[in-house]
Every structure is written in C-alpha cells, then in structure tokens.
Chain A
Amino acid sequence: MAGSGTLHLRPEGDQILSVEELVVEFPAGGHTVHAVSGISFDVLDGETLGILGESGCGKSSAGRAVMQLPPPTSGSVRLGEDELTGLNDQAVRKRRARMQMIFQDPVSSLNPRRKVKDLVAEGPRIWGTEVTREQIESVLSAVGLEPAAVWDRRPHELSGGQCQRICIARALMLDPRVLICDEPVSSLDVSVQAQILNLLEETKKRYGLSMVFIAHDLAVVKNISDRIMVMYLGKVCEVLPAGRLADRALHPYTRLLLESVPEATPAGGSPDTGTQRFTGELPSPLNPPSGCRFRTRCPLATEECTTIEPQLREVGDGHYLACHNSGPGAAVA
C-alpha cells in the first residue's frame, strides 16, 4: 500500500527515531479498520515533532505502534540504531525503555492504590534497579512538586495537573531519549495546561530529550513543536516547520482546521462565514475513500483526486505537501 511518501524524511544523520511505512490495522467483525496506512516520519536528536489531526485519524494508533504497544501490522521503527519491529517481547521491552509514553488521562493511567513515592520508583524497580529516596525527591522537584507534600499521597488525592506531573516523573526515572506524549494536556484546564506545556519544554532541555507530541489543538501543537505533521484518516497530508502553521499551511485540510479554530479574541474566534465551503465529517476508516482520503470533504477535489493518491512533494524549506490541487506547481488553485 502506498503511503504519502518518504520525501520528507531527512538524510541519515541525527535521527533518534525513524518510522517508515507504518501500517496499523485492526480486525473488526470480518472487516479491517485502517487506522494508520503507511506513514513515515523521523525525529532528530533534540527535536519535537507535533502530530496534528482530528479524533480517529490514527494519531494514538501511530504513537502506540511506535512504542510496539502493540507492534504495527507492518513497517519499521528504529530508535537510534535499534530496529524495534520483529524483536521478541523481552528484547523490545529492554530497548523501548529509552522511549516513554505520557497519556491524556493522567489520573486513570496511574495505579490508584499506589503512593506517589512508589509510583515514581516503579519503572526502575521492575528492571531490578534500586532507587534511592534522593532520586525520587529530585525527580519530583524537577516536575515542580514538593516531595514532602505528595510523598504518601495516592492519585485520587491529587489534581489532574499533579497526576500529569507524576506521569512525567515516572517517565524520567527510566532515563529516556524520546518522550511520546499522546494528548498530554487535553484533559487539563488552560491554567494547568500552560504549566504542563512549560514543564515539558523545560524537561526536554534539562534531560536532553526528543519528543513526539500528539494533539488535536493547533495552538498547543504549534507552541511545543519544531516540526508538525498533519494527519487525516491514517495518512500524512502535510509536514511543515511549526512556525509556518498559522499562515503558510497549504493543504486544504490544514486550512480547514485553521479556519475552524475558535480563538479567544475580541473579534471572536471562528465567526460564521455564511458559506459552508467545507462540510461533512471523517469518513469511516473501515472503507476509506480511494485516491485522496480527504476528497469527500475537499472543495478543491477533482477527478484525479478519486483515482490517484497524492504523494508528499517539497513546497518550501522543510515544507512538504500531499495534494494535487494546492501549493506551487498545482494544476488548479
């Protein structure tokens, strides 16, 4: 199956994570859910890649497949020098420790019966590594918690923001190279969301991490990312430097997302433009449209879009676009 191409992958060098032709499919009563259909991406050392898209477009499936939780249907995932796909469980687990995942719902991703001090020490202990009180205190301070105040508490005695700090502390205990964050601030209030975004940025610098940051909020993704990959129904639409998102994005789907964002400004976010140029909702991943998967909602769709799947092409510095009819050199537009 053709993905959206690999033109946006950078020459071998500083990659900490390389993902090629990733496919994730789930069986569903005799049918197949095409959650991720052959996407590729790479993350350079110290870089944050943002993955943007609406619910159901395959962001979490891609994130979990990179973690080998479960392994992808096909495709390759390399962490530094190590190929993760095709290894046995034991070997995968050992290597995967260098890659840690943070989830959307911080409270339910923590064992409710454990106290903070044990939650934080859990990872290394599983590997048989002794953890000192000083280590736990230092990582709790690093995530902005007062060790003495939370030491003996359990998750339900903490706020959502505090639980997310604990999740980050747990990940840091395993000395990861890459943090995969799946909607880490989506369930938090804006005041706390800002605390956690700042914390992730600081933590990344302090620990020399790279990040994959998955979210549906455009401004949040822009704030934390160096590079952004926009997904639609299991495919890549556009890859661009984060700084270009607001005014240089070209793909009709990225443009639709930008037009839809309700911004908290005096003039008002996404006022009714009257003309509903874009309509409809995400088609079923059981039976994705042929050609370009966005064509059922795209105002620029032409005959070609139903038969030929667009591949990523370079349209600017570090900017790649998969669309027949937009961007420089397009037939129409």
Chain B
Amino acid sequence: MSSSSALLGKRSATEPGSPVLVVEDLRTRIHTPRGDLQAVDGISFSLGRGETLGIVGESGSGKSVLGRTIMGLYTDGPVTTVTGRVTIAGKDVHALSAKELRSLWGADVGMVFQDPMTALNPVKKAGVHLTESLRRHRGMNRSQARARAEELLNLVGIPEPRRRLDQYPHELSGGMRQRVVIAMALANEPALLIADEPTTALDVTVQKQILDLLARLQGELGMAMVLISHNLGVVAGRADRVAVMYAGRVIEMADAATLFEAPHHPYTEALLAAIPRLHQPPHVRLEAIDGAPPNMIAPPVGCRFAPRCRYAQDDCSQVLPVLDPAAVDGVATPGHSFACHHPVNGGRH
C-alpha cells in the first residue's frame, strides 16, 4: 500500500481543537400521507478531528434520516421540516445555498452509503467518477486528475488501479465498488466522513477489509467520522464514542468500551443481550426483546421504550426521560449520558 502522504497536503479549514461537526437540537419531521413522523427528535452532539462517532439502532430508529439531515440532504421545506442547527467545519449547513451545499459535499464532507451503486453512475467508468470531482473541486487538469485518481484507488487497496480506472461499475465486485465510493468520498480530503451502513451489503470478510480501510484512512487523514450501523459489532472497536438511537432519539451515548461494558439504559442492555454470541454453546435461549419499536407517527407518551421495557414503572409512560450526564456512586462519568428514569448497572444522573 502506498503512503497517503500526498493526500496530507490539504488541511481542513477547521481551527485546531474546534469541533468539525456540531449538531444542536436537531429535529426532522417527515410529512407522509398517513401523518407526520418525527424521524429525528432532538439530537445534539459534537465531533472533533480524527474522532469517530458510532450511531447504532434498529431499523427505522432514524439513523439514516439523521445522517442525511446532517449532510443537508433533508432540508426545511414542503416534505420535511428541519429545526435545530448543523455546523460542519464552521459552516451552518442549513443556511447554505444549493450551490454552496454542492461545494460542501465535494470538499468538506464525504459520504458512503450501504449500496455503492447509488453513488456510481452505471454508464461511467470508475476513473471518471473520480476525475470529475477532482477537476471540479480541485481545478486539476485531465492528466493530473487521472494520476491522482490512480493514487486514490491504490490508497483504498484496489489492485491494478490503472486498469480499474477504465472499468465500469458492473465489472467490479461489491467490495471493489464500495472501495471506489470511498475513494470518491475521500478525493478532496474532507474534514468529515459520513458512512451510513457502509458494509451492510458486503460479506463478513470483505466487511472487515473495508472497516480496516476506513479506520486506517481516517487515522492518516485525521478526518472525523460518523459511522452508522444497525450492527453493534461493526462499531465496537471502530468508534471512540457510540450513540444508541431508539424511535428518533439518542437514548444513550458513551465511549465505546463503557457502552458495551456497563450500559445504563435498559434498551442498550437488552440489545446487547439479544445478540447471539460465538462463545456461547449451541441452543442457548436468546434474550429477545418482546414487541416491536413504536409507530413513529403516534409514538407513546413518556419513554418510547416503555411498552417493551422490563424495568418500566408508572412514571415511565408519563414523563419523557431526557439525555442527561451519568454518574456512578455520585461520581460523574464524563462523556456518558443516558435517558432513563430507572437506569441499570448502578447509573444515576
């Protein structure tokens, strides 16, 4: 693998120490024929250079809507209502014009989605996807862009990069396509990478290769990364901090080791207990969570997990718990917060 030192030339516009991404009380309401749906319901966090935030949660919990709202792909308009604020590299995303947004996407923030084909044009060669962006955003001429595209494919671990530049997406395997998409996302050394289920469509062996690749590039380029996955294992060992979403809200956030070791929220605890483990003997009964996530058009009053929670008491279905900092035995545990009236593992607010 070649060194990526050539890529380290450009530094992000962010001041050292100031966060790359700030999300403040973000709310995304989607208007559907069946009624309004609060897909993202009051989320706040910030992310510094080189930091990875993992976002986990079950299907429909709002992970993708959150990612897309951060990107400015969901905006305040006739189909969606967005309130709150998103700041990327000092820019207020939802105050940008369409033109400024396109330049933000090309230069400050890269994105990788579950299906690489959504990002690739089937009638364009792999190389063209890269050179177009390099020429537009970096003002390179044709041969400079091609040389750089080859370098990028090499960087993402594609063998014989020169030959691959002239191949069409359908001539590449799924893992190879995702590598091309990652190369596109990184072409302009963004300050922030948003990866929404980047390995969900891939086999476990290729998944590991792609996750290793993302971690290595992130380290080398000093990017901040939001890594979204329904699979808790994917973010374990890859994210510095993890946020768990349920029904549009972050219900717990902590550094990764703490979250997996001693979660305070009953949902996080239940989610971890439901996963079959390789070290368990065959035929152990799994701890399923009864019921299903709530209908987001008419979510329950109070704690949204209450109908499925084994610790629920009367106050749970009346008062919505908010995400507050945690403490254990009266001592604050920095970086750990949860939203629950009756926390587990000794957690208190």
Q: Which residues of A contact B (CB under 8 A)?
A: 54-55, 159-162, 189-195, 197-198, 201, 216-220, 222-226, 242-243, 245-246, 256-272, 276, 278-279, 281-282
Q: Report if B331 contacts A (CB, 8 A).
A: no
Please indicate the chain B residues that have their CB under 8 angstroms from the CB of A263 in the complex. Answer: 233, 236, 277-278
Q: Are A260 and B207 in contact (CB under 8 A)?
A: yes
Interface centre among A54, A261, A270 (most CB of B within 10 A): A270
Contacts of A269 in B (CB 8 A): 233-234, 236-238
Complex Cα spacing A279 to B157, Å: 10
Asked if B283 and A201 sit within 8 Å, CB to CB, the answer is yes
Kindly identify, within residues 264 to 297 of chain B, every residue whose CB is under 8 Å from any CB belonging to chain A: 270-272, 274-290, 292
Complex alpha-carbon distance, A186 and B141, angstroms: 46
CB pair B257–A224 under 8 Å, yes or no, is: no
Q: How far is the CA of A269 from the CA of B234 in the complex (A)?
A: 7
**Is there a chain A Cβ closer than 8 Å to B103's Cβ?**
no
In the bound complex, what is the Cα–Cα distance between A267 and B288 (angstroms)?
24
Please give, as numbers and ranges, the residues of chain A lying within 8 Å of B204 by CB-CB distance. Answer: 54, 216, 218, 257, 260-262
Residue of A nearest to B291 (CB): A191
* Assembled-state Cα–Cα distance A224/B280 (Å): 11
Query: Of A162, A198, A245, A276, which one neighbours B285 at CB under 8 angstroms?
Result: A198
CA–CA, A159 and B231, complex, Å: 19
Once the chains bind, are B207 and A266 in contact (CB under 8 Å)? Answer: no
B276 touches A226 (CB 8 A): no
Q: How far is the CA of A216 from the CA of B207 in the complex (A)?
A: 13
Q: Determine the distance from Cα of A195 to Cα of B271 in the docked complex, in whole angstroms.
A: 12
Residues of the A chain whose Cβ atoms lie less than 8 Å from the Cβ of B203: 54-55, 216, 281-282
- Given A191-B289, A194-B287, the answer on whether A267 and B237 have CB atoms closer than 8 Å is yes
Report the Cα distance A297→B43, complex, angstroms: 44
Chain A hits for B233, CB < 8 A: 261-264, 269-270
8 Å CB contact of A265 from B205, B236, B283, B286: B236
Task: Give the CA-CA distance A201 to B205 in the complex, in Å.
Answer: 28
Query: Residues of B contacting A190 with CB < 8 Å?
Result: 58, 230, 232, 271, 274-275
Task: Specify which chain A residues have a CB less than 8 angstroms from the CB of B128 in the assembled complex.
Answer: none
In the complex, chain A residues whose CB is within 8 Å of the CB of B59:
160, 189
Closest Cβ–Cβ distance, residue A198 to chain B (whole Å): 6
Q: Which residue of A lies closest to B204 (CB)?
A: A260
Contact of B207 with A257 in the complex, beta carbons under 8 Å: no
Flag if A195 contacts B288 (CB, 8 Å): yes
CB of B96 within 8 A of chain A? no
Given contacts A226-B282, A268-B236, contact A191 B274 (CB under 8 A): yes
- Tell me how far the C-beta of A185 lies from the nearest C-beta in chain B, rounded to whole angstroms: 10
Question: Bound state CA distance, A217 and B203, in angstroms?
Answer: 10
Smallest distance from the beta carbon of B71 to chain A beta carbons, Å? 24
> What's the nearest-Cβ distance from chain A to residue B175, in Å?
5
Residues in B neighbouring A245, C-beta threshold 8 A:
278
Question: Whole-angstrom distance between the alpha carbons of A260 and B212 in the complex?
Answer: 11
CB-CB < 8 A to B230: which residues of A? 189-190
Contact of A266 among B58, B212, B260, B292 (CB under 8 A): B260
Q: A190-B274, A269-B237 are in contact. Are A262 and B208 (CB under 8 A)?
A: yes
> What is the bound-complex CA distance between A117 and B37, given in angstroms?
31
Contact A197 B237 (CB under 8 A): no
* Residue of A162, A260, A265, A271 with most partner-chain B CB within 10 A: A265
A55 neighbours in B (Cβ, 8 Å): 203
Residues of A close to B290: CB separation below 8 A: 195
B58 A262 Cβ-Cβ under 8 A: no
Residues of chain B with a CB closer than 8 A to A224's CB: 282-283
- Verify B234–A194 contact, CB threshold 8 A: no
B157-178: CB near A (< 8 Å → 1, else 0) gives 0000000000000000101100
Using A191-B274, A219-B276 as known contacts, say yes or no to A260 and B208 having CB atoms under 8 A apart: yes
A residues less than 8 Å from B278 (CB atoms):
218-219, 222, 245-246, 258, 261, 263
What CA separation (Å) do A48 and B69 show in the bound complex?
A: 45
In the complex, the answer to whether A189 meets B58 with C-beta atoms within 8 Å is yes
